[in-house]
Amino acid sequence: MRKIDGLDKLAAQGRDLIARANDLYHDPRAFDQWEQAVAETITSQLPDSGLLSEWHSLERPSFTRYTDGRPVGVAASGFVRIVTARLRWLSNLPGNVYLRTPVEPVKVPDFAEVFADAATPGVKSTPSPYVSTTRLDELRKAPAGQFDTKRLVRLCEELNECHARECLHAVTFCTRAILDHVPPIFGFKSFAEVANNYGGRSVKGSLRHLEDSSRNIADHHLHTQIRATEILPTPQQVNFSQDLEVLLGEAVRVLHEKARSPKP
């Protein structure tokens, strides 16, 4: 809460009015001085807060005089009640100031923006590459031997570019092209042969998923002719990045093994 200088002194003056109620209830001067002192404090420390109007709107003693000049006012008990009500208002003043202080609104994040792809205008977040940069570096550095990996590396780079720009049809096509391109590395002519015959149970599971699911999805988007109603691919539908990482990792490993093997 905000500290108001002189507030304790003003409260003490109000309590003094109550203590001297029997002498002051018919005389406006002491009450008027106290009321004015509070008003000046509000004006100097809390301008344009609306609190000055509230202070002046509070009940005040009615001071009048008889026609012969003798003062007459509220009874002492009424004077005490009015001053007590004003003291209560003063005690609540810091809290009223706090509640009236403008608070900067908290900006609630737009989660659609937070998780938006980097290709979305105005959003700087960068999606993870479809083929990891680590795997791409391994393919670039794969030993030169029986197979030249330049085209494989370029296909992976284009796949990452399509993924970053959400060119989802192209993602499926590039994935299928990679599957058709790598079988000779594993000693087979088709990827179906690779998926059915290469690796242990866990590796074979990833390769089968690529063969059965990604190829079907690619065929669907590649060969389906125009229809009255269309459904476009989604990032989730074309995401085979984990299984593709397994395939490319095995390709890197086999290339290194072939390079170490003695030539016949």
User: Each residue of 163-209: pLDDT tens digit?
Assistant: 999 899 999 999 999 999 999 999 999 999 999 999 888 898 999 99
In angstroms, rounded to a whole number, what is the distance separating the alpha carbons of residues 213 and 240? 9
Supply the pLDDT for residue 118: 46
User: pLDDT digit string (tens) for 233-258?
Assistant: 898 888 999 999 999 999 999 999 88
Residue 62's CB is within 10 A of a number of other CB atoms, namely 12
C-alpha distances in Å from residue 6, one per residue of 48, 94, 258: 19, 12, 89
Among residues 193, 158, 161, which one has the least CA distance to residue 178? Answer: 158
Which amino acid is present at 88? R
In angstroms, rounded to a whole number, what is the distance separating the alpha carbons of residues 102 and 113? 28
**For residues 207 and 243, is the Cβ–Cβ distance under 8 A?**
yes
User: pLDDT digit string (tens) for 81-106?
Assistant: 888 988 998 888 877 766 556 556 66
Bridge partners (DSSP) listed for residue 7: none
In angstroms, rounded to a whole number, what is the distance separating the alpha carbons of residues 186 and 204? 13
Residue 96's CB is within 10 A of a number of other CB atoms, namely 17
User: pLDDT digit string (tens) for 44-67?
Assistant: 888 887 888 888 888 877 765 555
- For CA atoms 211, 214, 217, 220, the dihedral sign is negative
In angstroms, rounded to a whole number, what is the distance separating the alpha carbons of residues 233 and 1? 56
In angstroms, rounded to a whole number, what is the distance separating the alpha carbons of residues 158 and 240? 15
